[in-house]
Amino acid sequence: MNIKDFITQLEESGVPDDHVINFTISDMAEVMHYHGTALDDAMKETGFISEVSSFIFHGPLYREDDEIVKDLLESDAVAALSDEWFDDEAEDPDAVYQTEEYKEALQETLEEEFHENWYEYDLIDYNLIQYDYKRGRVDLSFTRSLSFSFLKEHSDWFPLCEASVDLPNGFSLSTDLD
């Protein structure tokens, strides 16, 4: 279902603007699990980290007050970046942190930190299904809950994902957005 039709259907169902909608990106990979690298292999094979990273760091979700970004801002990589950019001889040493150049460097650093250390941030769910003693499948998913008003405001931005919502009438709606 396209995003405009999804919004129309939610409006017709009487969903209020502050209602929460879950957006899920998912993928899977066939793996050899017996050597203990199944999750890393699945991440490399699918490019899932890049997909999630794009969802978080490019577009309207990227804000420094966002809970995911806040966690990443506490990383050593960001501390190193801040030290690199700090100019204690400047008239206003903190002014550098407001420049577009620094903000772009910060966004790149956050994205790189997420790529390298995604497992530390507990954002990606995974499940290993073992077919036999060495073959299996890893299911990967990332879910983000956003308000209906956010969806309406940024409807031209949303990536391919699954959207699910509990409707006010007690039913639920789940669809793949394209």
Whole-angstrom Cα distance, residue 12 to residue 15?
8
Span 26-74, pLDDT tens digits? 999 999 988 889 999 999 999 999 999 888 888 888 887 788 888 888 8
Whole-angstrom Cα distance, residue 162 to residue 177?
6
Whole-angstrom Cα distance, residue 73 to residue 39?
25
Span 108-146, pLDDT tens digits? 898 999 989 988 888 999 999 999 999 999 999 999 999
Q: Is 0.85 surpassed by the pTM of this model?
A: no
Q: What share of the chain is helix, strand, coil (3-state, %, to 5)?
A: 45, 25, 30
